[in-house]
Amino acid sequence: MSFMNWQYSRVFNTHVTLTFSKMCIGDHREAARLMPHWNKEMKRWLAIGPDKSRKRWKKRVRAAEPSPHLWVYVFENGRDKGFHAHQLCCVPDSQVKAFEAHTLAWWRREAWIDFPADAIEVRHCRTYDEKSGYERQVEWFRYLIKSAARDFGYFGLDGQVHSVDEIFKLAPYWETNPVYSPRLHGICHELSMKKRREAGFVSKLGSCELDEVYSGWEFDARRERIKAEETAAFLATLNI
């Protein structure tokens, strides 16, 4: 999440909940197998612009600009919903309804059943300004990791270990049923550890500046980085 803000100046503006119990997909491993295929399809779908109109994407708004599919998801086996997934991603405001319809149609094809539409919930937050979009993203991120392990922490600049609960400001631990899948979460290639290393990204966890984790520092850092790159490019053109 932090790297996405730093690298792309985007925020997660959409929270998708997939309730597999309502889709009659009871096998956790099967759901885990399907998640990458769905995200691959949505990546292709979001990449289509007005210059590449295709019949199969007829519900997509024609005036839409191509958009990268940036996402992260987790599996959870809740007490009320049963086995389900939460995914954060980026969807253009004009594409939300079409995104929801395409997602519903795709999962119905894979489940081989016309399950109820409420099996998939798409919550979208229109981003009016950087601060409000960032705050909503953080709220959703904290919800995603509510059932994560809490038995470890990180060193701060004070030399002390600070708990995950303290750093990420988490609610009390949610005890949930086990997920029977070797994969408990997923993240797109564009936000992977490899991409972060190649970009030279260092998070506030990595630099031990734990008080800055939710400060929104990423956007200022990006602006400063771009300004420095522009200055360097300009100086390179001077015959000094």
pLDDT digits (tens, 9 = 90+) for 75-103: 999 878 889 999 999 999 989 999 999 99
Neighbours of 21 (CB within 10 A): 15
pLDDT at 79: 78
- Any bridge partners for residue 124, and if so which? 14
Contact indicator for 122, 19 with CB cutoff of 8 Å:
no
pLDDT confidence bin for 228, thresholds 50/70/90: confident
Please tell me the distance from the alpha carbon of residue 157 to that of residue 207, in angstroms, as a whole number: 8
Please tell me the distance from the alpha carbon of residue 64 to that of residue 14, in angstroms, as a whole number: 17
In terms of phi and psi (left: phi > 0; alpha: psi -120 to 50; beta: otherwise), the region of 169 is: left
Share of the chain above pLDDT 70, in %: 93
pLDDT at 10: 93
Please tell me the distance from the alpha carbon of residue 87 to that of residue 42, in angstroms, as a whole number: 13
Neighbours of 139 (CB within 10 A): 11
pLDDT at 212: 95
Please tell me the distance from the alpha carbon of residue 142 to that of residue 137, in angstroms, as a whole number: 9
Q: Residue range 157-164: average pLDDT?
A: 93
Q: Residue range 27-55: average pLDDT?
A: 85
**φ, ψ of residue 216 in degrees (nearest 5):** 80, 20
pLDDT at 163: 92
Higher pLDDT, 62 or 185: 185
- Any bridge partners for residue 155, and if so which? 161
Please tell me the distance from the alpha carbon of residue 192 to that of residue 195, in angstroms, as a whole number: 5
Higher pLDDT, 18 or 231: 18
